[in-house]
Structure 1
Amino acid sequence: MSDLSEPVGTSDTTFSHVKPGDTPWRSDGLRDFFLYRDLGVAEATKGRVIAHLVKANMAPKKGTGWHRHEANFQIVIMTKGWAKFMYEDQVTLVEAGDCVHQRPGITHYLFDYSPDMEYLEIVSPADFKTVEVSPATQDIPVPTPWA
C-alpha cells in the first residue's frame, strides 16, 4: 500500500457506486448503540478514506465518553435529526443539514441525540483509531429521554 499522504491518482482508486440496498446496516461498529452502513469508499480508495452512515439504534444513556480520533481529516454531516456533542468545553447542537469538521485530535463526547438521528461521517485514513481520554472536569448535560 502506498503512503497515505501521497496524492491519489486515478490508478490508485476504483469507481464505486453504492445504492441504499447494496450494503446492510450493521451493529458491529465503533458504538453498540448506533448502526453503521458502509458506503464502499474505503475499498475504492484502498483505505485512504472511509465514508459511512451512522444512525441511532438505542436511546442515549451514557454517550460515547470522552475520546479523540487519530485521523488526518474528519467531517460529520447530519442528514436527519440532531445530536449534541461536547467539543472540549463547548456544547454543540448539530442538526440536520449541519456539517462539522472535527480537527485532528479534538477531544469530544457525543452525549445526546434524537431517535431519528442519522449522519454521514467521512474520515481519513479509513482505519483511524479512537483513543479514550480521561474525563473532563466539567459535567456532561443529561440526555433527553425518548418518549
Structure 2
Amino acid sequence: MPDQPEISSPATAFSHVRPPDTAFRGDGLRDFFLYRDLGIAEATRGKVIAQLVIAHNAPEKGTGWHRHEAEFHIVLMLRGWARFMYEDKETLVSAGDCVHQRPGVRHYLFDYSPDMEYLEVVGPADFTTIDVAPVCDVPESKGWGV
C-alpha cells in the first residue's frame, strides 16, 4: 500500500450544544442582558463566537455609543425587538430581522422589549468593544415600552 499522507488535526471541531448544556449567565458584556454560549468559540478555536442574548433588566441608559473591533458581526433577532442607533440612523430590529454590523460601525442599543432574544455571531471570538464619542442625540428609552 502506498504511504498515506498524515491527517493533521482540523482547524475546527464538531460541536453540538443543547439547551441544558449551557445556562444563561450574567457575566457578559452588558449587565442588563444574559448570555448563553453556544460552544462555537471553542469549536472554532477562537475564530467565531455565537451566543444567545436575552433581556434581563429594563433598559435605563442602554449601551452607550461604542464600536467593536471585529471582522464579522451579525445579530439575528429571534423574539421581541430592540431599537438601535447605527451612526445617525434609528433602526428598529424586530423578530426575524438580521443585521450585519460592518466592522467599526458606531452604534447604540437604547431600547428593547422584555422578551428580546437574539443570536449574535462575531469573529473573532475575543472581539473588543470601544466606547466612542456620541454621533448624534439618542431617543429616550421607554423602559419596556414600545
Task: Tell me if both proteins adopt one fold, taking TM over 0.5 as the criterion.
Answer: yes
Q: Counterpart of 1:69 in structure 2: which amino acid? A: H
- 4+ runs deviating over 3 angstroms: none
Offset at 1:143? 1.0
Aligned to 1:6: none
Secondary structure of 1:21's partner?
helix
Aligned to 1:34: 33
- Give the root-mean-square deviation of aligned CA atoms: 1.3
Distance (Å, rounded) in 2 between the aligned partners of 1:93 and 1:146: 14
Cα deviation, 1:10-63, whole Å, max 9, x if unaligned, reads 711110000111101000000000000000000000000000000000000000
Secondary structure of 2:83's partner?
strand
Cα deviation, 1:89-145, whole Å, max 9, x if unaligned, reads 000000000000000000000000000000000000000010000122x22101123
Offset at 1:146? 2.8
Residues 1-147 of structure 1: matches in 2 within 5 Å? 11-136=10-135, 138-146=136-144
Tell me the TM-score normalised to structure 1 length.
Answer: 0.91
Secondary structure of 1:11's partner?
coil
Secondary structure of 1:43's partner?
helix
Which structure 1 residue ranges, 5 or more long, are not aligned? 1-8
Secondary structure of 2:10's partner?
helix
Which structure 2 residue ranges, 5 or more long, are not aligned? 1-7
Secondary structure of 1:42's partner?
helix
Identical counterparts, % of pairs: 69
Distance (Å, rounded) in 1 between the aligned partners of 2:55 and 2:89: 22
Distance (Å, rounded) in 1 between the aligned partners of 2:104 and 2:25: 26
Q: Counterpart of 2:59 in structure 1: which amino acid? A: P
Tell me the TM-score normalised to structure 2 length.
Answer: 0.91
> What is the number of equivalent residue pairs in this alignment?
138
Cα deviation, 1:51-79, whole Å, max 9, x if unaligned, reads 00000000000000000000000000000
